[in-house]
Amino acid sequence: MSYFPNWTLKTSGAVMPDEKLPAAQTLIAGLQHVVAMFGATVLAPILMGFDPNVAIFFSGIATLLFFVMTGGRLPSYLGSSFAFIGVVLAASGFKGGGPNPNIAVALGGIIFCGFVYALIGLIVQSIGTRWIEKLLPPVVTGAVVAAIGLNLTAVAIGMISASGYTKWVALLTVVAVAVVAVYGRGFAQRLPILIGGLIAYLFYALTATSFGAPGIDLSKVGAAAWFGLPNFVAPVFSWPAMALIAPVAIILVAENLGHIKGIGVMTGRNMDPLIGRAFMADGVATMISGAGGGTGVTTYAENMGVMAVTRVYSTLVFVAAGCIAILLGFSPKFGALIGTIPVAVLGGLAVVVFGLIAATAGRIWVESKVDFSSPKNLITVATALILGAGDLKLPIFGFELGGIGTATFGAIMLYHLLNMGREKESV
């Protein structure tokens, strides 16, 4: 068996990881993934005071690295992880608004976190996944995936709640995406996010001023240069910051494991042999990103949502997406153009994509035949959902654990606490 698969052409139905679309369709599908992740991959660095162009550049580098290290067999896009936001803000003392003056200290912590993450992946690759699957059974991984999706609820709702008009634009975006996904024909059905978002963008451009909302200003696009180097930043290693940020590796493990299990369910294939390599790839990519001023990266749930809608899992689509992201990272003009997308439209897309993330948990539970008549399963999931959705922040040893972390560690500890002394169950 060769290191990379021999991709076969597929023009209808579900497209598996070792299959491919025609070249033009692959490129467009890759662009859709870039669009799907752009809102979050740009939002996360802005919240942390990072440069968005640097973040998208390294998301492309990370995606291509992930493709190579997993042998082109695991469809995933790597983008900015929201799990880093709380600890980066705490480590750098950043209060928001503009560039983060202490970004270098945070970068050292991100690199160390990536090292820990890659080390976990090396252990998994060496001794297998049995121990991690015992630690994170389907009921727990599903709960983590659902908590991730629900934790992003406030982000999506916050993006659409400026006025009654923005709420209606967001809902129009949702409907446009849904109609294209369900009633579209041919290749159009594979591009619901892109086409639905474009429809909503045009609607906003034509109606915004009539409803007192700010129109789309293209002046910054015209003034921006076509090509420009990203503003790379060198890291500074500080043990307090490194100790503060390193535990995020555990969250990334649970997050990535949930993503891989979700992709396995969607494709009907066993992706477990790739788990160790996926962890190592994500960890190394995080180290590289941090070394140049980028955010910590993770397999991107938004792109899982796109795959769930389009049923296109070809890994070559993510090669296209990674290359597009790198090119866009060198283009201030594209950054300015993306900046013209109304927040209401991005919020509508977020409603769809974040919701699909949470819904993927249901598929994990169904496919794994999780028994919800068992109190330990029911209470574990119920607790994780509320902790994640409510974004409970828990202070631990001088730093604040965000909602995703609280839900992740809460689900793991509660499940195993409730399972102590009990006979082994199927899930």
324-345 pLDDT, tens digit each: 999 888 888 876 776 677 878 8
Question: Cα dist. 154→39, 157, 184 in Å?
Answer: 14, 5, 30
Residue 277 in any domain: the answer is: yes
Helix/strand/coil (H, E, C) string of 265-278?
HHHCCCCHHHHHHH
Share of the chain above pLDDT 90, in %: 21
What residue numbers bound the domain in which 169 lies?
21-360
What's this model's pTM, rounded to 2 decimal places? 0.71
* pLDDT value at residue 426: 46
246: three-class secondary structure by DSSP: coil
Residues 6+ apart with CB under 8 A from 258: 141, 142, 144, 145, 148, 361, 364
- Token digits of residue 209: 């001023």
Residue 142 in any domain: the answer is: yes
- Token digits of residue 190: 């594979």
pLDDT reading at 121 higher than 90: yes
Contact 152, 37 (CB under 8 A): no
**pLDDT digits over 350-378, tens only?**
788 778 778 878 877 887 888 888 888 89
d(CA 239, CA 82): 22
d(CA 354, CA 223): 34
Question: Cα dist. 75→33, 64, 263, 306, 322 in Å?
Answer: 11, 11, 8, 12, 12
Contact 381, 146 (CB under 8 A): yes
pLDDT reading at 247 higher than 60: yes
Vertex 365: Cα angle to 263 and 136 (nearest 5): 75
Query: What is the phi/psi pair of residue 312, to 5°?
Result: -110, 110
Helix/strand/coil (H, E, C) string of 197-241?
HHHHHHHHHHHHHHHCCCCCCCHHHHHCCCCCCCCCCCCCCCHHH
d(CA 358, CA 407): 14
**Residue with more model confidence, 38 or 4:** 4
Residue 243 in any domain: the answer is: yes
Residue 86 in any domain: the answer is: yes
Find tokens 């992930």 and name the residue.
66
Estimate to the nearest angstrom the gap between the alpha carbon of 150 and the chain centroid. 13
**Residue with more model confidence, 172 or 136:** 172
Residue 369 in any domain: the answer is: no
- Token digits of residue 90: 């705490």
Find tokens 């996360």 and name the residue.
44
190: three-class secondary structure by DSSP: helix
**pLDDT digits over 127-153, tens only?**
887 787 788 788 888 888 788 778 777
Comparing 102-116, 312-326, 327-341, 412-426, the range with the smallest average pLDDT is: 412-426
d(CA 420, CA 4): 43
Question: 15 has which bridge partners?
Answer: 312
Number of domains in the chain: 1
d(CA 403, CA 386): 9
Residue 53 in any domain: the answer is: yes
d(CA 259, CA 257): 5
d(CA 387, CA 407): 5
Closest CA to 62 of 83, 46, 44, 41: 41
Number of H helices, E strands in the chain: 19, 6
Question: How is 348-369 classified by DSSP, letter by letter?
Answer: HHHHHHHHHHHHHHHHHHHHTT
d(CA 405, CA 262): 19
**pLDDT digits over 302-316, tens only?**
677 778 778 888 999
